[in-house]
A and B are shown apart, each in its own frame.
Chain A
Amino acid sequence: MRKFILILLFVLSLFSCGTDTDTGEFTVGSDYLALSNKVVLIDTVTVDMSTINFDSLATSNRSRILIGNYDDPIFGKVKSDSYFQLSTSTYALTSVGSDTESVNYVFDSISMILKYDRYYYGDTTRVQTFNIHRLTQRVKPNTEDDNFYNNSTLSYSPESLGTISYRPRPLQKDSINIQMSKEFGEALFLKIKKREITDYDSFTEYLKGLVLVPDTGNSSSAIGFSVSTSKVRLYYSKYQADDEADSYILDFQILDATKQFNSISSDKTGTILQNLPISTSKLSSTLTNNQGYIQSGTGVACRVDFPNIKQFKNISTNGAIVDAELILKPVNNSYSEKYPLADSLTVYVGDNLNRISGSLVNSAGTAVYGKLSQKSDEFNENVGYSVSIGAFLQKEMLKESDSRSSLILTLPGIAQSVNRLVLGDQKHLNNKIQLKIYYISY
């Protein structure tokens, strides 16, 4: 029995010894470690670039009155008219005291107050001119849905109700004020005073809407104004009153934002993009100086395809794309202080006919954007938008069907701005698109 006790004591004493934990600071043979699981970086995968054209963009209800035009050497002439319908909360003059007194109100003036929303694109040092016209047609969509599009137009009377020529100061100033036609104001005032306009219906029947039309003569910028705070203000006062307190205002605003839209037109004649095909087709970058183009407002977008991604399955028997980075480089001299680069790119997933199935998402299902690395550097070599497309490419690689998805790149605010971007493709001289795929075999 003593021996058993001896053995047990022996074993127990062995178990009681502790073992120090390994912090893993020592490694031998890092080459060997890389052997069973190879991590490779592949940057030679073919990326095709092309330019596409969305036939229409819904521009109503975008909270921006966009007015202006500029002549772009690459994209041609771009022009934005803004249509809207006004309304107010009370279609009546102020009633103080007895009814008989209201008779004594007189019209003073009418003006449009447009509040800058800080958006601008183009040369704001140049004078911009635009006119206010009266719509001869109700602000009502022709289409089955309730949207107006960048190519929607409404008829308006040629007579100008007001005009302004000004130097836009969207960041320094708060608003601009446009004196409107006295006749127009007087007539509107009388309609209300005489109780011929008493509600929304009678008002919109009388004043169907307004349109702001830039003068193509000298404008070279597009300026954004706020839909919610811009207004037409009617000034009136008591007859023969010289007291400030006896002056009154009546504001007309865009209370229904769906009744406001920007009609953004583009004339690409003579530019490299003049042969941009219909919306289900594409114009390869090989035909457009090895460049892809994006222009907000007019529906020009850049499409990127990965024709050989399925061949990745043949790299090793088992492997996965763990991460991938697509770096899109804006072409030198296609941007400047006046035509600044947007901070990000919006990325959609589309099919061969440019039908968008949704935003590009990461593994967590949240939208992926292209992030601008830096605004500029000495040679603009590192200026680029980086998009993380690992999850997308892994899915594309494993997809059973033959169909391939492409990425469609636009700028944020595609329907309410006119920013543009020119990107280089893989054969571009200075600003090549780069695709880095991190692949691991297992």
Chain B
Amino acid sequence: MKNKIVLWSCFLLMSLTSFSQSISSSPYSLYGVGSLYDSDFGYLPSIGSSGIALPSDTFINNLNPASLGFMYQNHFLFDIGGKAISTTYQSSSRTEKRNNFQFSHLAFAFPVTKNSGFSLSLRPYSSSVFKISNLKLPIADSQEYYYVSAEGSGGLNNLDFSYGYRLGKKLTLGATATVLFGNTVDDRAFLVSNAITTISKTTDYSGVRATLGAQFKVDSTFTVGTTFKVPAKINASKVQSVTSIADEVQSSIETDVASDVDDYYMPLEIGFGASKRFKNNLNVTLDYEKSFWGSTNQSELYGEFVNQDRFALGFTYSSKKNARKYWDRIGYAAGVNYDTGYLEVDSHRVNNASFSVGLNLPIENTFSSLNISYSYGQKGRIANDLIKENYHKISLNLSLDGIWFVKRKIE
């Protein structure tokens, strides 16, 4: 048992350190609190991240807390994942390819009573990693220019406490309390005329947000679900240092001055989902979610925010239940996702479209499985001041079924 504790803590430590070095470096990370992560659990990445109506039976469904009401008893579910992303950045003048790896999530869930379940998960919410080298910008109302170099790092993390409760056989209700925390670091250097000004800023964010969810089993093959994310304010405060370098001498203008900055607002988000099983082996999921970013009155400091629509469609196929051969137990999945984006840059939305395929590889004779998903997508567009990102993404999610915890107890 001691061994396990050591291993677990070691493991948690490693995952936490990797959180802090979240390394999606997208030029769009400049905005808001960074680029938002999609870190879905189990086989959700394979089905276009659809699944508001899916139960948390064989894996933890992070899309709807109500799904925890459908957990099987005596099962302890655990989920961990990572993504390898290869992105091609394209502007009107150049193309560049970058690979990176992201830690995706760490979560576990267990049934509390025979009709309720609880889950705890930690995942990155956003990454504000970006870099700008010597960008030439005009000085307003003049013929002159200045140069900016900037480097962003850090991001926000998402800690979810979720609870789902089943009323009778068909209806589950759930709620999530989300703690958002983290900081972003923004170092900028301005070359103006003959002087360099550096502004180094660390912004701390913290806030709590609630999500409510419900799922309803219309019949044994058809389920509908909904989620309702409550608007929230994420408190922001910054610590900033400004120095000036002129004539090869560095002088400090301000050092570690703490001040309030405009808070970040999370919108009201309403999602609907449906899941239908056909012929016992094909399952179709369809989600729609609307995020009312437009009514958050977000400070222009974070960028121009607009209402976002998200559509997701997914298919899973598995040949037979309780198949003897391993190959027959493998599940196949595919999905598409379209997202209008919440960001408007130069009056162009930064939208995102992707399709995905995946495999669900069962491990042993439990619900444990390794989920491998490949997706290809496009974000943004090539325009004056915009770039297009084409990405190939491989997600590896390890979903473990911890029925063995119970076994050990019995021993």
Residue-wise interface mask of B (121-162) relative to A, using a CB-CB cutoff of 8 A (1 in contact, 0 not) = 000000001111111010111101010111100000000000
Question: Does B387 reach chain A (CB closer than 8 Å)?
Answer: yes
Choose the segment among A37-45, A112-120, A122-130 that binds chain B (4+ C-beta atoms closer than 8 Å): A37-45
Residue-wise interface mask of A (194-207) relative to B, using a CB-CB cutoff of 8 A (1 in contact, 0 not) = 00000000000000
A320 to B14, CA, bound (A): 43
Interface residues of A in 1-45 (CB under 8 A from B): 3-4, 6-8, 10-11, 14-15, 17-20, 22-41, 43
Choose the segment among A159-167, A297-305, A360-368, A371-379 that binds chain B (4+ C-beta atoms closer than 8 Å): A360-368
Q: Say which residue of A11, A28, A38, A366 sits within 8 Å of B27 (CB atoms).
A: A28
Question: Does B25 reach chain A (CB closer than 8 Å)?
Answer: yes
Q: Say which residue of B7, B101, B304, B345 sits within 8 Å of A8 (CB atoms).
A: B7
Question: Does A440 reach chain B (CB closer than 8 Å)?
Answer: yes
Determine if B246 and A10 form an interchain contact, defined as CB atoms under 8 angstroms apart.
no
Q: Say which residue of B91, B142, B151, B192 sits within 8 Å of A323 (CB atoms).
A: B192
Question: Does B96 reach chain A (CB closer than 8 Å)?
Answer: yes
B26 to chain A, nearest CB (A): 9
Q: Evaluate whether A36 and B301 lie within 8 angstroms (CB atoms) in the complex, with A25-B96, A322-B192 already known.
A: yes
Number of interface residues of B (CB under 8 A): 77
Determine if A4 and B249 form an interchain contact, defined as CB atoms under 8 angstroms apart.
no
Question: Does B240 reach chain A (CB closer than 8 Å)?
Answer: yes
Determine the main DSSP class of B at the interface with A: strand
Interface residues of B in 20-44 (CB under 8 A from A): 23, 25, 27-28, 30-31
Determine if A37 and B190 form an interchain contact, defined as CB atoms under 8 angstroms apart.
yes
Determine the main DSSP class of A at the interface with B: mixed
Residues of B within 8 A of A18 (CB): 99, 101
Q: Evaluate whether A33 and B195 lie within 8 angstroms (CB atoms) in the complex, with A8-B7, A11-B11, A27-B27 already known.
A: no
Determine if B251 and A363 form an interchain contact, defined as CB atoms under 8 angstroms apart.
yes
A31 to B386, CA, bound (A): 12
Question: Does A388 reach chain B (CB closer than 8 Å)?
Answer: yes
B392 to chain A, nearest CB (A): 14
Report the nearest B residue to A16, measured CB to CB: B101
Interface residues of B in 390-411 (CB under 8 A from A): 396, 398, 400, 404
A41 to B247, CA, bound (A): 20
B302 to chain A, nearest CB (A): 9
Interface residues of A in 81-95 (CB under 8 A from B): none
Determine if B396 and A10 form an interchain contact, defined as CB atoms under 8 angstroms apart.
yes
Question: Does B322 reach chain A (CB closer than 8 Å)?
Answer: no
Number of interface residues of A (CB under 8 A): 52
Q: Evaluate whether A41 and B139 lie within 8 angstroms (CB atoms) in the complex, with A28-B28, A320-B197, A391-B246 already known.
A: yes
Question: Does B253 reach chain A (CB closer than 8 Å)?
Answer: yes
A7 to B368, CA, bound (A): 12
Question: Does B385 reach chain A (CB closer than 8 Å)?
Answer: yes
Question: Does A108 reach chain B (CB closer than 8 Å)?
Answer: no
Residues of B within 8 A of A8 (CB): 7, 11
Report the nearest A residue to B251, measured CB to CB: A363
A296 to B30, CA, bound (A): 56
Residues of B within 8 A of A22 (CB): 25, 98, 129-131
Residues of A within 8 A of B9 (CB): none
B41 to chain A, nearest CB (A): 15
Q: Say which residue of B11, B98, B346 sits within 8 Å of A29 (CB atoms).
A: B346
A112 to chain B, nearest CB (A): 47
Determine if B150 and A33 form an interchain contact, defined as CB atoms under 8 angstroms apart.
yes
A14 to B394, CA, bound (A): 12
B132 to chain A, nearest CB (A): 5
Determine if B385 and A28 form an interchain contact, defined as CB atoms under 8 angstroms apart.
yes
Q: Say which residue of A38, A41, A390, A394 sits within 8 Å of B142 (CB atoms).
A: A41
A25 to B14, CA, bound (A): 32
Interface residues of A in 393-440 (CB under 8 A from B): 394, 436, 438, 440
Question: Does A335 reach chain B (CB closer than 8 Å)?
Answer: no
Residues of A within 8 A of B132 (CB): 24, 27, 33
Q: Evaluate whether A20 and B244 lie within 8 angstroms (CB atoms) in the complex, with A35-B300, A39-B190, A41-B142 already known.
A: no
Determine if A19 and B139 form an interchain contact, defined as CB atoms under 8 angstroms apart.
no
Determine if A23 and B133 form an interchain contact, defined as CB atoms under 8 angstroms apart.
yes
Determine if A40 and B100 form an interchain contact, defined as CB atoms under 8 angstroms apart.
no
Determine if A20 and B99 form an interchain contact, defined as CB atoms under 8 angstroms apart.
yes
Max chain A C-beta neighbours (<10 A), residue from B14, B140, B244, B363: B244
Determine if B301 and A35 form an interchain contact, defined as CB atoms under 8 angstroms apart.
yes
B91 to chain A, nearest CB (A): 6
Residues of A within 8 A of B98 (CB): 19-20, 22
Determine if B346 and A31 form an interchain contact, defined as CB atoms under 8 angstroms apart.
yes
Question: Does B207 reach chain A (CB closer than 8 Å)?
Answer: no
Residues of B within 8 A of A391 (CB): 246-247
Residues of B within 8 A of A48 (CB): none
Residues of B within 8 A of A6 (CB): 363, 398
Residues of A within 8 A of B248 (CB): 364
Q: Evaluate whether A31 and B99 lie within 8 angstroms (CB atoms) in the complex, with A7-B398, A362-B246, A440-B190 already known.
A: no
A320 to chain B, nearest CB (A): 5
Q: Which 3 pairs, one residue from A and one from B, show the smallest C-beta to C-beta distance?
A: A24-B133, A24-B131, A323-B193
25 cross-chain CB contacts under 8 A: A7-B80, A7-B398, A19-B25, A22-B131, A23-B96, A23-B133, A24-B132, A24-B150, A25-B133, A28-B386, A30-B385, A33-B30, A35-B300, A35-B301, A37-B190, A37-B199, A40-B140, A41-B142, A318-B254, A320-B242, A322-B197, A364-B249, A365-B249, A438-B193, A440-B190
